[in-house]
Amino acid sequence: MYTALVTYTLPNPRSRAAMLERFKQSEARFQSLPNLIRKDFCYDEASHTGHSVYLWDSEAAARGFFSEGFLTGFEKSFGCRPNVVFVDTLLVVDNQRGNT
């Protein structure tokens, strides 16, 4: 598995409620995305900074998703370019499913 850690600071502060609504609007896109195991949408209202954690089934899938087109579209949508860091996921403890 492979993780993409995405961070971005919005140029204009948005409320938690506004960001949650925005995230919900894109939920369906990620529900059917091939090779994506999980995506966490996170937002720190105090610093108006977003954080997303993507867990992919492979490095190729992770890197392939964050194309220049994705980054440009993100920038148009949110007014800032995200920073993406890729890391090899060595172990996942899933307490909800009760497995590792």
Task: Name the band, by pLDDT with cuts 50, 70 and 90, for residue 99.
Answer: confident
Q: Where are the domains of the chain?
A: 2-88
Is 2-88 a CATH 3.30.70.100 domain? Answer: yes
Give the global pTM: 0.92
98 pLDDT more than 90:
no
pLDDT tens for each residue of 30-63: 998 999 999 999 999 999 999 999 999 999 999 9
**pLDDT for position 27:** 93
Closest CA to 86 of 14, 1, 24, 5: 5
**pLDDT for position 62:** 97
Residues 6 or more apart whose Cβ sits within 8 Å of residue 30 = 36, 39
- The amino acid at residue 27 is E
